[in-house]
Structure 1
Amino acid sequence: MRALIGDSEFDRDTAVTRREPGVYDIDLSAGWTIISAVNGGYLLAVLGRALADTLPHPDPFTVSAHYLTASQPGPAVVRTETVRTGRTLSTGQASLFQFDDEGNEVERIRVLASYGDLGTLPDDVRTTATPPPIPPLERCFGPEDGPAPVDGSSAITERLMLKLDPATVGWALGAPSGKGEMRAWFGLADGRDADPLSLLLAVDALPPTAFELGLKGWVPTVELTVHVRHRPAPGPLRVSITTRNLAGGFLEEDAEVWDSTDRLVAQSRQLARVRLG
């Protein structure tokens, strides 16, 4: 049975409990880890849910996050603040905190976001963007078709329906293409349809483009900005990520997310650190 929006593992694991206005508690799930850290897209969805409760508008339009230190599974506190409210947009900020081994509070991630109501936007599209050329889902490959993508935890892959374009899986066979590209069909493993909040996860859920550039290991996000453009239609999403420039140990990843009606529903850019040599 397909999970419904509001009643899936993703919803339960991103749910925050309001302790008082602007303060939320959550237990970060180990189910969304990669290597040893909690996935950045999952964290963005957690803060996005807290901001949706804080602000008068329901949907994220633009979310910019700075990842300060790696988050770990376990208790965390989210603190939110309303920066400005208007008729069509409201802006807020949020930070997630955890305690280190010495008991000191550590800020893990800080977000500035503007929210609105996607349902009120005019249905006028003028674009030169086109959906990525991904083969049919049955001709693509998932984590179950190859070795573990990284050393350490790959728990997040068990919660996703992820089918990679064969043209971007050379890294898994020991023959990376040298191109900074990653493309895949994306969904949640329990069948829950996508919504604006899960788009914050989708832009950061594929293997890093660094793998196809011949690099290995953790590629931690430094900064990630997501633009949500439309409420996605039911069905699997197509995600395309490209990197054009790796320099000084950092690369950018530009992502596009397309829904089942060939509509561009989200875009993002992130800066990430890579290990060279």
Structure 2
Amino acid sequence: MSEYDDATRLESGDDPTLRHGTFHEQGMIGNAVNGGLVMATALRALGEHLVADPTETTEHVDPVVLSAYFMTASQPGPFSVATEVMRCGRKLSTGQMTIHQDGDDGQPVERMRAIGSFGNLTDLEVQRQAAPPDLPPPDRCLSAEQAPPDFLANAKFLERLDLRLDPATAGWALGKPSMRGVMRGWLRLRDGREPDTTMLMMALDALPPVAFDLGLLGWTPTLEFTGHIRRRPAPGWLRVSLSSETLGGGMMEEDAMIWDSAGNLVAQSRQLCGVRMPR
């Protein structure tokens, strides 16, 4: 079993709407479990619900869209994820996912609530898509292992990834951000597991925040996230591009796009992040 599959593994019982799992310290970024990993886990729960519940028979096996709100930061330890199927249609099946963990007082604390839709992304015809950005090949990009040691010490999640940043967008690591609000690079799982549609949702939130390229190196928690999966990815490297055009009021947006090894646009997202401005 790959590290990713183990990190998103769920146990179920008689209730098809409730599953349990454990977030590991290896999924931490700063003081929270990576939000992309949380979303991928929730999607796995809804996908298993759709497959396992005989009253919801469907061939919708690929996540297509997810809109998630992060209430509190997920922590290493046990969690539960409740799922509710809202509608099964011809093209999409839509449901809600809610993740809870026990707080310090033993009472459940809601971590994330999301609505997502599953479909079937086999053999889609594409009329138009954004072209992938030009990047140096992975062996000429900067590995996450070359990041400053104090940064890596608080980013255990990056140890699960093989991340190679475009040198043109990695100046922030040397104290020289470009101030263009752009981050680009290559991404794959370090253990060699090939990407699938659920893993793409995690990949949309896997790179360092684009805020770093604006000289803002503090924590940028995701407040709301909307992601679209466009097609099943080909095996191999993912090409990821982040950008931001708007910053103000302690918040910013981050747009992400992912292309697979065949040059297909496979995923895109926009999230609203909190930003701690320097004093």
TM range (shorter): over 0.9
Match of 1:258 in 2: 259
Match of 1:13 in 2: 7
Say if 1:272 and 1:149 are closer, same or farther in 2 by CA, change over 3 A. Answer: farther
Instruction: Give the whole-Å Cα distance in 2 for the aligned partners of 1:272 and 1:90.
Output: 28
Matches within 5 A, 1:240-251: 240-251=241-252
Q: Is the 8 A contact 1:97 1:106 kept in 2?
A: yes
Instruction: Give the whole-Å Cα distance in 2 for the aligned partners of 1:233 and 1:187.
Output: 12
Match of 2:75 in 1: 72
Matches within 5 A, 1:51-66: 51-55=46-50, 56=58, 57-66=60-69
Q: Is the 8 A contact 1:150 1:217 kept in 2?
A: no
SS in 2 for 1:118: coil
Moved more, 17-26 or 235-244: 17-26
Instruction: Give the whole-Å Cα distance in 2 for the aligned partners of 1:50 and 1:164.
Output: 31
Instruction: Give the whole-Å Cα distance in 2 for the aligned partners of 1:128 and 1:41.
Output: 24
Q: Is the 8 A contact 1:36 1:152 kept in 2?
A: no
Instruction: Give the whole-Å Cα distance in 2 for the aligned partners of 1:261 and 1:43.
Output: 27
How far apart are residue 218 of structure 1 and its match? 0.9
Residue deviations 1:87-129, cap 9 Å, x none?
221000010001111111111000100101111x53x222251
- Specify the code of the residue in structure 1 equivalent to 2:37: Y
Match of 2:180 in 1: 179
Match for residue 87 of structure 1 among 72, 87, 90: 90
Give the TM-score of the pair, scaled to structure 2: 0.94
Instruction: Give the whole-Å Cα distance in 2 for the aligned partners of 1:252 and 1:132.
Output: 20
Matches within 5 A, 1:134-153: 134-148=135-149, 150=151, 153=154
Give the TM-score of the pair, scaled to structure 1: 0.94
How far apart are residue 86 of structure 1 and its match? 1.3
Match for residue 23 of structure 1 among 18, 21, 25: 18
- Specify the code of the residue in structure 2 equivalent to 1:136: P
How far apart are residue 63 of structure 1 and its match? 0.6
Instruction: Give the whole-Å Cα distance in 2 for the aligned partners of 1:48 and 1:83.
Output: 14
SS in 2 for 1:255: strand
Q: Is the 8 A contact 1:37 1:72 kept in 2?
A: yes
Identity of aligned residues (%): 49
SS in 2 for 1:133: coil
Structure 1: gaps spanning 5 or more residues: 1-6
SS in 2 for 1:15: coil
Structure 2: gaps spanning 5 or more residues: 51-57
How many residue pairs get aligned? The number is 269
Instruction: Give the whole-Å Cα distance in 1 for the aligned partners of 2:202 and 2:129.
Output: 25
The structure 1 segments of at least 4 consecutive aligned residues displaced by more than 4 Å after TM superposition are none
Matches within 5 A, 1:1-277: 7-19=1-13, 20-55=15-50, 56=58, 57-119=60-122, 121-122=123-124, 124-148=125-149, 150=151, 153-277=154-278
